[in-house]
Amino acid sequence: MTQSILHTEQLQRTRQQQARELELPSREAMLHRVPSVQRFWKDNRQLLSDAWREWEEDETDSLTLLDSPLIDARLRTAVRQAWENPEREVDVKALMTEVATDVYHFQLFDVERIVELRGMLEKAGDAGIPLRPPYGIVLNRQGAMLDRRSEGYLAAPSFQALYQALLDTYMRPISRMLFPEIMGYDTQTFGFSINYQPDTDASIRPHTDASSVTLNINMNLPDEPFEGSELDVLDAARGDAIRYSFTPGAAMLHRGNVLHAAQPITRGQRSNLVLWLFGDRGQIPPQGAPRRAIPASDRWVASNAEQDDYAPF
């Protein structure tokens, strides 16, 4: 074996170690988005991607395969049938409950399978490989960026495959079914995880999202109760707010321009994944965009849009 080949193999084996030895920017620097923070993530993007791939290979025996049974069985069946015959999308819509005007609740994950995804995310959080927190929302101590367009995202290949399937197979066609006016403003993706605890990041003030549509998924396990942390959502048609309490594996889907806020959490913790769709370079539908009739066959089609590099934060 030549010296150059040996050197290359040593480098490949130690990408995780190299990533763990990086000196992270301070939380204050990340919060204020100083130029050196962006340079850190840009300069180390390939190293971090390689490290996550290597980490996943090393963890193969202890990571549960993230496959389709993670999705609630009724939803999984209805969505599969809609992809085969778009006219069957009525069965998907039947699983959605409109809790406020244009705000829908449904069961996304199988309660008994959430532990598998949580286990992977927790292992990733403990891997020592740098992850960037979603400081555009709140300087969250345990959250992470999920989309490949984001600096410091969770680049583990199996998680990325699951993440993309959630967006492409479930979120986009369901969003088009419920909110047809987002068609054309749903080509790009974004995502992050967030964790609420009483002694760290306990709440989020009222805000709208820079998205066409937002999917908020609870990741708590059945034996992880919490108190507080309800989501207040403004019902624009009625002029008042509804208060929604998350349960394990449940999701809320709403237009990004819906005003919402997270109440303070008083006990336990709440873990969520938040996924966004928007148009090229962050475009979203204009305020008051009219609903239009769109054939079901136009909704249940694979997106072939080219992905840009725009990230809201």
Count of domains for the chain: 1
Q: What is the DSSP string of 188-254?
A: EEEEEEEEE-TTS---EEEE--SSSEEEEEE---TT---EE-PEEEEETTTTEEEEE---TTEEEEE
Does residue 130 fall inside a structural domain? Answer: yes
CATH number of the domain at 90, please: 2.60.120.620
Does residue 20 fall inside a structural domain? Answer: no
Does residue 15 fall inside a structural domain? Answer: no
Residues in Cβ contact with 117 at an 8 Å cutoff, skipping those fewer than 6 apart:
66, 70, 109, 162, 219
Q: State the amino acid at position 191 in one-letter form.
A: G
Q: State the amino acid at position 186 in one-letter form.
A: D
Does residue 55 fall inside a structural domain? Answer: no
d(CA 143, CA 126): 12
d(CA 123, CA 62): 10
Give the per-residue pLDDT at 136.
Answer: 64
Give the per-residue pLDDT at 124.
Answer: 93
List the domain range (segments joined by +) for residue 120: 68-298
Which ranges constitute the DSSP H helices of the chain? 3-13, 15-20, 27-32, 35-43, 45-58, 73-84, 89-93, 114-125, 157-165, 172-178
Burial of 273 (0-12, 13-18, 19+ CB in 10 A): buried
d(CA 159, CA 129): 15
Distances (CA, A) of 3 to 6, 10, 12, 16, 18: 5, 11, 14, 22, 20
Task: Tell me the sheet residues that pair with 235.
Answer: 240
- pLDDT tens digits, the chain, 313 residues: what are they? 455 554 555 555 689 999 999 999 988 888 888 999 999 999 999 999 999 999 999 887 656 656 668 999 999 999 999 999 999 999 999 999 999 988 999 999 999 999 989 889 989 999 999 999 887 665 555 789 999 999 999 999 999 999 999 999 999 999 999 999 999 999 999 999 988 776 665 556 778 899 999 999 999 999 888 777 788 887 777 778 888 888 999 999 999 998 888 877 878 888 899 999 999 999 999 988 888 889 999 999 999 999 999 999 8
256 near 174, Cβ under 8 Å? no
Give the per-residue pLDDT at 210.
Answer: 94
Does residue 171 fall inside a structural domain? Answer: yes
d(CA 176, CA 298): 9
Does residue 125 fall inside a structural domain? Answer: yes
Encoding tokens for residue 97?
């409950």
Give the per-residue pLDDT at 6.
Answer: 46
Does residue 92 fall inside a structural domain? Answer: yes
Does residue 133 fall inside a structural domain? Answer: yes
Encoding tokens for residue 296?
């079901």
236 near 103, Cβ under 8 Å? no
